[in-house]
Amino acid sequence: MKAIGKRKLGNSGLEVSALGLGCMGMSWSYGPPKDKNEMIVLLRAAVERGVTFFDTAEVYGQNEELVGEALAPFKGQVVIATKFGWAPGPNDTDRWSVINSRPEHIRKVVEGSLKRLRVDAIGLYYQHRVDPGVPIEDVAGAVKDLIQEGKVKHLGLSEAGANTIRRAHAVQPVTALQSEYSLWYREPEREIIPVLEELGIGFVPFSPLGKGFLTGKIDENTTLDSTDFRNSVPRFSPENRRANQALVDLLNSIAERKSATSGQIALAWLLAQKSWIIPIPGTTKLNRLEENINAAALELTPADLSEIEIAASKIIIKGARYPESAERMTGL
């Protein structure tokens, strides 16, 4: 395996591995929770292979406990990012039903995350979704207080709009924005990436492999587990999967030439966009982890990137990336 390399999140000075590891799917969302001991082995294998950036959230089931236990031996060597802003209900059906970023709620839930993660300070603390009922200045101010108290090191935002980012950054410098970005969701290029560049904020794309679709392992005939949240995603309907296969075909054609996989091309494309972009592909399998890590050493030439750009511009992606109710919670 080649060395994964490091990158800095904008002007913050926070340096992490060029690719992080999204941990959500280990505990929730992509079918039933995976075996805890197997996931601990995987998380520790990621550290051994140079990954130093791990992503979780309060609302991802038992994920913070898992990540905390797995990474406890590596205290000081890794950066764990987690998120606040949802008030988790007692079961999956209402997991995302109540949004809450009131300062007193933030102060309360940070204690639980610190305990579950087994850390003295949270490396990067994201607001999971913008709360329309709480001024972003109050949210940034609450995290600023936690930073001054030594409980948090850096502030992040997730799926926030350009104006919200500016307003938060004026109160407490934002280290990173986490939002969906990949070859099949390029909306951040219009307003978000220019603002991040201007303000010196890093970008952490989630779903950099299109929730698995860009790996080429899912087609119109794939049956997803009944507990897999992608069943509710319009973009994953069989007819839309069939239409969107054209993008995977494009990636496969480049991959063949590069002796790579379509997923590696998708990740290499993201890394080539900006030096302060750090994708966080998720996986529960060691071979996929190694495949993703090797993408960091894959170089796409200007000619490769131009070819991808021209071909991708002719492909119209079909289907919304979220159900309408979830999409309303983004970009405020």
Q: How confident is the model at residue 226 (pLDDT cuts 50, 70, 90)?
A: confident
List the catalytic residues: 60
Kindly list the distances between the CA atom of residue 242 and the CA atoms of 207, 208, 221, 252, in Å, as whole numbers in the listed order.
19, 20, 9, 16
**Domains in the chain, ordered, with CATH?**
6-216+273-298 (3.20.20.100)
pLDDT tens figures, 192-209: 999 999 999 999 999 999
pLDDT-derived band at 328 (thresholds 50, 70, 90) equals very low
Output the CA torsion 145→150→151→152 (10° steps): 80
Please determine, for residue 162, whether its predicted confidence score (pLDDT) is greater than 60: yes
The two tokens of residue 208 are 């950099």
Q: Which residue has the tokens 């949004």?
A: 99
Q: Enter the pTM of the model.
A: 0.92
